[in-house]
Amino acid sequence: MLRTYYDLSMGQTTTIRLSDEDRRLLAQLVSEYGDQSNVIRQGIRRLAEEQRQRQELRALLRDWEAESGPVDEEMVAEMSRRYFNR
């Protein structure tokens, strides 16, 4: 469950419920990124960048198909696994 609270002095505050595993991972990452907020912000930015890359890949594939015909779906799946670890 995600709850959003507003603190007029600092802007918006968001409360997130984390599993034990999520808390463990967050604690590990704090040493590299400084604090929990920085870890979460970096994670959000990374997810947004991955989404942008997937959208660009989809656009590239649409253009490819329009110019050269159908794309080999197995090759696309392999590219997705290689570049997006999915």
What does the pLDDT read at residue 86? 59
Who wins on pLDDT, 77 or 29?
29
In a domain, 58, yes or no: yes
Q: Is residue 12 part of a domain?
A: no
How many separate domains does the chain show? 1
In a domain, 9, yes or no: no
Q: What is the pLDDT of residues 20-74, one digit of tens each?
A: 999 999 999 999 999 999 999 999 999 999 999 889 988 988 898 898 888 888 8
Output the pTM of the full model: 0.66
Task: Identify the burial level of 32 via C-beta atoms within 10 angstroms of its C-beta, where 0-12 means exposed, 13-18 middle and 19 or more buried.
Answer: exposed
Cβ distance 3 to 14 under 8 Å?
yes
Asked if residue 46 is part of any domain, the answer here is: yes
Q: For residue 11, what pLDDT is reported?
A: 67
d(CA 12, CA 8): 8
- State the pLDDT at residue 6: 52
Indicate the burial class of 25 (C-beta count within 10 angstroms; 0-12, 13-18, 19 or more): middle
Residue with tokens 């709850």: 3
